[in-house]
Amino acid sequence: MTNSSQLFWLGIPTIAGGIWLLGATSVNLRYRRWAAACLEGVFGGALIVLGGLLTILGLETLPYTVVDSSAARLELHFEKRGRQDYLALVRPADDRQDQTFSLRGDEWRLDINCIQWGPLSALGLKPAYRPAVLRSRYTELDTMPSTPPSTHYLTDPIQGKLWRIITFAQTYLPLWQAKTLELNYWPMTPGATFVLNPTADGAEIQPLNEQAKQVIGSSSTRTE
């Protein structure tokens, strides 16, 4: 069972339980059982909020890749189109379609959203990730053209809103840890192919061909 499926199975019944308690609250109010109505109202509202957050987590993690096997690898390939103008091919770890982006600048960086489950890991949830932002920058200010560096958001607007909700909610309900990893900038090199290897506590960028090895060497670079 995937992370999303487990979260849906937890969230939806929790919401239903909260709604049932609120229904019982109305009965107690009718018979003026104030203490019972207050307790049921508080617990019912809390269950609805918790169930809603679990359901939002399930929606957010639908496109995530679980960090548990060699299949959790994302590839990036770069081709030069002109001076400080590159084409980046992002090949997802799963069967989703490749994405192509235009990057203006000299160096690139990939940001990824990662989720670890803390206490919820006892339910079998596994750390997962998804690419979030691909951006570029100029390194030589005196040769910087009028075209600004590129920033491409790899998540759709709805996913972005869900991410903001769960990162805000974890401040008050520390059942999971959602964070964005900002990897190092690396020079864009024609023909270079890199692979992203996320781990449970960080991420590794590794060269996949000779052009990439010339950029970062044969050793991986790790960000936590």
Q: Which of 168, 96, 138, 125 is nearest to 8 (CA)?
A: 125
Which residue did the predictor score with more confidence, 70 or 128? 128
Same domain (yes/no): 82, 36: no
- C-alpha distances (whole Å) from 21 to each of 9, 17, 26, 64, 76 are 19, 6, 9, 34, 50
Which residue did the predictor score with more confidence, 84 or 217? 84
Coil, strand or helix: which one is 172? coil
Same domain (yes/no): 105, 205: yes
Same domain (yes/no): 84, 108: yes
Same domain (yes/no): 36, 135: no
**What predicted TM-score, i.e. pTM, was given to this entire model?**
0.81
**Per-residue pLDDT tens for 130-170?**
889 999 999 876 666 778 899 999 888 888 899 999 999 99
Coil, strand or helix: which one is 125? coil
Same domain (yes/no): 45, 130: no
Whole-angstrom distance, CA of residue 45 vs CA of residue 91: 43
Q: Could you tell me the residue range of the domain that residue 194 belongs to?
A: 65-223
Structural domain ending residue among the three candidates 60, 82, 109: 60
How many independent structural domains does the chain possess? 2
> What percent of the chain is predicted at pLDDT more than 70?
89
Same domain (yes/no): 69, 46: no
Same domain (yes/no): 78, 55: no
Structural domain ending residue among the three candidates 17, 44, 60: 60
Place of tokens 């987590």: 57
Same domain (yes/no): 182, 71: yes
Coil, strand or helix: which one is 145? coil
Same domain (yes/no): 41, 72: no
Structural domain ending residue among the three candidates 60, 77, 105: 60
Whole-angstrom distance, CA of residue 124 vs CA of residue 219: 32
**Per-residue pLDDT tens for 92-133?**
866 678 889 999 999 999 999 999 998 999 888 989 888 899
